[in-house]
Amino acid sequence: MPMTRTLRIASYNIQKCVGLDFRRQPQRILQVLDGMQADIVVLQEADKRLPPRPAALPHFMLEESGWQVVDLGGAGSLGWHGNAVIWRGDAIQVHHTAHHDLPGLEPRGAVRVEFETQIGPLRVMGMHLGLLSASRRQQITHLRRFDSDLVQMPTVWAGDFNEWSRQPVLDHLAPDMRFLPPVPSFPAAQPLGALDRIALGQGLQAMAHGVHDARPAHIASDHLPVWADLQRAA
């Protein structure tokens, strides 16, 4: 019987490559990325804060490590509003990209990438939601409405949702997305909050998911990355 194909997706808030020791060391982030063995990674806080928002994790370092960077239109930046998407592997191709401003008091954004992958077409939405609960509700509602207007495709939402509650707050706002059970990812040294989440749309299932805590993830950023192994739903 042929082996069923899987794809590993991950989400990682890299805090501009500044670790818990207050040192900016992109090489540590690359070590964490390599250790996860993910095919596609959604990053948050991938660019420095002030305009022109240069990449905190340099393009050349990613490319030397075998990663490809999705071009999201930010000149010199890795992504859009700090959200970036990287991938590696010959089985993956990028077909379409876009970015979106999100409502709320803080300037926030989301990115969208449509891939052809080893498990078929896949739409990935990467996001970093606001600190205020009212803003997060607005942002999830906005994304859900926007998704409904797109051509239907197996979809993953991944990012830093900034939601501390263990109640299904996000699930209720987007009932068409299935949030994977929360795993503590923040703060990295002693994780308590499941701020980093992955949600799946129809046509996808997670064979496994978890948090990556192998060294140097405990110090490379204030967040630990989360991951999920995806297959097409039967």
Write the pLDDT tens digit of every residue in 138-170. Answer: 999 999 988 888 899 999 999 999 999 988 888
- The domain in which residue 14 lies consists of 9-232
Domain of residue 168, CATH code: 3.60.10.10
Tokens of 55: 């990449």
Strand order in the sheet with 108-117: 93-102, 108-117, 120-128, 155-160, 196-200, 178-179
Distance between CA atoms of residues 29 and 129, nearest Å:
22
The pLDDT > 70 percentage for the chain reads 98
Please name the helix (run of DSSP H) or strand (run of DSSP E) that holds residue 27, with its range, or none: helix 26-36
Is residue 211, in this structure, part of any structural domain at all?
Answer: yes
Residues forming a β-bridge with 42: 11, 85
Distance between CA atoms of residues 29 and 12, nearest Å:
9
Q: What is the CA radius of gyration of the chain?
A: 16
Is residue 4, in this structure, part of any structural domain at all?
Answer: no
Is residue 2, in this structure, part of any structural domain at all?
Answer: no
> 163-201, pLDDT tens digit by residue?
999 888 888 899 999 999 999 999 999 999 999 999 999
Is residue 133, in this structure, part of any structural domain at all?
Answer: yes
Closest CA to 112 of 137, 143, 68: 143
pTM above 0.75, yes or no: yes
Is residue 3, in this structure, part of any structural domain at all?
Answer: no
Distance between CA atoms of residues 29 and 18, nearest Å:
9
Is residue 38, in this structure, part of any structural domain at all?
Answer: yes
